[in-house]
């Protein structure tokens, strides 16, 4: 997060915006392919929402940063974490 904030501040004068999306546990086909079955069953259960997110729930964060509506936003980290705080 500090790396994003520093770059955002440092590059703002050049008209360059720096933002980041910090995803929490997001369900993808790689999850069952890379984890033991017992971990797959509980993947994302430790979030306040009690489940993993879906890629479709993550995509709007990227769309926001690419949109004109974010033209006054730089140095920000948008957490899509199911309610888990960013470190």
d(CA 78, CA 5): 12
Tens-digit pLDDT profile for residues 15-57: 999 999 999 999 999 999 999 999 999 999 999 999 999 999 9
Write down all domains in the chain, each with its CATH number in brackets.
2-80 (3.40.50.720)
**Structure token digits, residue 12:** 């703002």
d(CA 80, CA 53): 8
User: The whole model's pTM is what?
Assistant: 0.87
- In sequence order, the 6+-apart residues with CB closer than 8 A to the CB of 20 are 1, 4, 76, 77, 78
């Amino acid at each position: 997060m500090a790396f994003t904030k520093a770059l955002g501040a440092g590059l703002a004068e050049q008209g360059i915006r720096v933002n980041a999306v910090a995803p929490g546990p997001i369900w993808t086909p790689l999850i069952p392919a890379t984890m033991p079955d017992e971990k797959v069953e509980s993947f994302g259960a430790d979030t306040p929402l009690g489940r993993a997110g879906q890629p479709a729930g993550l995509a709007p964060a990227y769309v926001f940063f690419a949109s004109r509506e974010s033209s006054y936003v730089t140095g920000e980290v948008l957490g899509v974490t199911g309610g888990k705080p960013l470190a």
